[in-house]
Amino acid sequence: MRPSSRVCARCATELSQYNPDVLCSLCAKTGGAPSVPDRAWRDEAVYEALSDWDFGEVLRLVRKRSGLSQVAVHDLTALPQSFISGLERGQKKIGSPTTLLDLLNGLGVPSDLQHLLLVPLRRNTPNTRPGRSVDAALPWTADRMVTSLEVAIGGSTMKRRRVLTALSGAALTQHMLQATLAPVEAVAASGATPVTDALIDSLQGTTDALRRVDATSGSGKLAHTARTHLQMLLHLLKNGSYKEKHGSRLASVAADTAAQTGWYTFDGGDHDAAQHLFLGALRAAHAAGDASLRAGALGFLAIHSYSVGDPRDAIAAARTARQHISMLDAPALNAMLLTRQARGHARLRESRHALAALNEAEEHCARGRGEDDPHWLYWINPGEILGQTGSCYLDLGQPAQAAKAFGAARDVLSTEENRTTAQFLSRAATAQMRAGEADAGCAIAHDVLALADGIQSARLDDHLRSMLTEARSLVPGACGKDLLERGSVVMRERATV
């Protein structure tokens, strides 16, 4: 994926090689788009249909009252016109979280009516079942946010084993809907410990310091340290003395810390516990009213979904996250989320959608950092986009293209991101081997084994084992034998750390 010599006719941003048009994807989406007027929603029949989740009737009524054609609804939602027609006639049903979120986001349900969409969730949620205080269907209060994180880190009296099972599909969609639609409750308390700006800054500094250690040396033992740090934040949220302003800041730090703790936990191989930390981070970001942190938590959930869950959930999470930040100047955050979406499409072998998302990610990245891009997203750069492109091609069964993308990534990846570089290079070695370039793959594999020294990461271990497995079947002769012998020694050493 080399830099393109063509630029957008409107904004002069470099165009991706995958974009044949004269406008970049961002400019192509602006200007002259249809919309649903507010008056179209102001009818009792619409309210009833929203409360019943009768989306065919919602669509029929809103379209009729706004004068929009089915083609215009397609332009708004990106749903096929045949599906729109069938949904209105009751012949089609919404069968996936992605379709539901595309419809709701495209139509633009007014904020004062969004609570109606939560009615069916609560209508079928009895309060007597164990563990319901962390159920996504119940109102998202500050107290439940704290409880959800306590359960995720094992600090609640609630039986943790009952709730720490992986979520997917409808259960995960409930969290996405609540994060999008639920009202934000003020976070304030009148406990014993005064919470000041200086204290919050110090707590955020600890979270940032742990993040930097992870980037260079891997998660290692960070998960335990991060959990201890998160417990302190939860103690302050419950027992501190603060008004709404400091409460929102404290919830933001808790969201960032929970997401990072989830990441260290995921990198350590405990995938279910990591997912619940990501979900707790999503609740905390919602309580803080922080759209960027909400998007960040959804981005982590997308990684979980395309890595060990359902790739369709990854696509839904990434799309929902982008809706949260649609009003922000955050090209780097958009680029990151688009790579998550692309990975989900690639896992499903949806080549066209994966490459389209990567094209848009590249264009966002070319714009540089925006005013609203968060400080914790310092690592988005062309090397990251190229590395994710290589990973997508590998999942799509195109190893030669993957090897090309990984090769370009290696030239521009940050020298400080050792774990990321090692993971991408392990995939690059695999891509070369699958493409029939055994010697090149073997050489890269030796580089990876050297780079992995000192990086503690269960995910990297998985990548190394996969790379060595490929070498066992694809790299013949002395080259393969030397690599496997060295790899065996390295993996034994890593197992004893």
What are 252-278's pLDDT values in tens digits?
Answer: 999 999 999 999 999 989 999 999 999
The residues that bridge with 242 in the sheet, in sequence order, are 189
* Of 66-70, 109-113, 461-465, minimum mean pLDDT range: 109-113
Residue 411 near residue 1 (C-beta atoms within 8 A): no
- Rounded Cα gap, residues 256 and 208, in angstroms: 9
Give me the mean pLDDT over the 146-165 stretch: 68
Is position 324 within any domain? Answer: no
Is position 123 within any domain? Answer: no
Closest CA to 134 of 97, 169, 162, 168: 162
Last residue of a domain, one of 107, 129, 158: 107
200 and 288 belong to one structural domain: yes
Is position 349 within any domain? Answer: no
pTM above the 0.85 mark?
no
164 and 301 belong to one structural domain: yes
- Rounded Cα gap, residues 487 and 489, in angstroms: 5
Is position 352 within any domain? Answer: no
Residues 241-250 have pLDDT tens digits of: 999 999 999 9
Question: How many C-beta atoms surround the C-beta of residue 161 within 10 A?
Answer: 8
φ/ψ of 326, rounded to 5, equals -60, -25
Is position 477 within any domain? Answer: yes
Q: Is a pLDDT exceeding 90 seen at residue 88? A: yes
245 and 145 belong to one structural domain: yes
Tokens of 257: 């810390």
Residue 301 near residue 189 (C-beta atoms within 8 A): no
SS3 assignment, position 30: coil
- pLDDT, position 159: 45
Is position 286 within any domain? Answer: yes
103 and 197 belong to one structural domain: no
CA distances from 137 to 69, 127, 141, 175 (A): 34, 10, 11, 8
Higher-confidence position of 14 and 373: 373
- Rounded Cα gap, residues 149 and 153, in angstroms: 6
92 and 170 belong to one structural domain: no
Task: Check the CA dihedral 303-305-306-308 and report its sign.
Answer: positive
Give me the mean pLDDT over the 346-369 stretch: 95
Tokens of 389: 């492109």
SS3 assignment, position 67: coil
- Rounded Cα gap, residues 139 and 81, in angstroms: 35
SS3 assignment, position 154: coil
Give me the mean pLDDT over the 186-202 stretch: 94
100 and 155 belong to one structural domain: no
3-state secondary structure 121-183: HHHCCCCCCCCHHHCCCCCCCHHHHHHHHHHHCCCCCCCHHHCCCCCCHHHHHHHHHHHHHCC
Distance of CA 165 to the CA centre of its chain: 19
* Of 121-130, 384-393, 410-419, 451-460, minimum mean pLDDT range: 121-130
Q: How many domains does the chain have?
A: 3
151 and 294 belong to one structural domain: yes
Q: Is a pLDDT exceeding 80 seen at residue 406? A: yes
**pLDDT, the chain, mean:** 87
Q: Is 261 exposed, middle or buried (0-12, 13-18, 19+ CB in 10 A)?
A: buried
**CATH value at residue 51:** 1.10.260
Higher-confidence position of 158 and 155: 155
- pLDDT, position 114: 80
84 and 147 belong to one structural domain: no
103 and 206 belong to one structural domain: no
- Rounded Cα gap, residues 102 and 345, in angstroms: 16
Higher-confidence position of 261 and 170: 261
- Rounded Cα gap, residues 257 and 478, in angstroms: 47
Last residue of a domain, one of 259, 294, 317: 317
156 and 234 belong to one structural domain: yes
Last residue of a domain, one of 107, 130, 152: 107
Q: Is a pLDDT exceeding 70 seen at residue 21? A: no
* Of 81-90, 114-123, 137-146, 392-401, minimum mean pLDDT range: 114-123
92 and 166 belong to one structural domain: no
- Rounded Cα gap, residues 348 and 462, in angstroms: 21
- pLDDT, position 118: 77
Residue 252 near residue 293 (C-beta atoms within 8 A): yes
Give me the mean pLDDT over the 144-156 stretch: 86
Is position 169 within any domain? Answer: yes
Concatenating the DSSP letter of every residue in 176-208 gives HHHHHHSPPPP--EE-SEE--HHHHHHHHHHHH
70 and 150 belong to one structural domain: no
- pLDDT, position 28: 59
Q: Is a pLDDT exceeding 80 seen at residue 9? A: no
Task: Check the CA dihedral 96-102-107-113 and report its sign.
Answer: positive
Distance of CA 247 to the CA centre of its chain: 25
- pLDDT, position 122: 63
Is position 1 within any domain? Answer: no
- What residue numbers bound the domain in which 497 lies? 416-497
Q: Is a pLDDT exceeding 70 seen at residue 491? A: yes
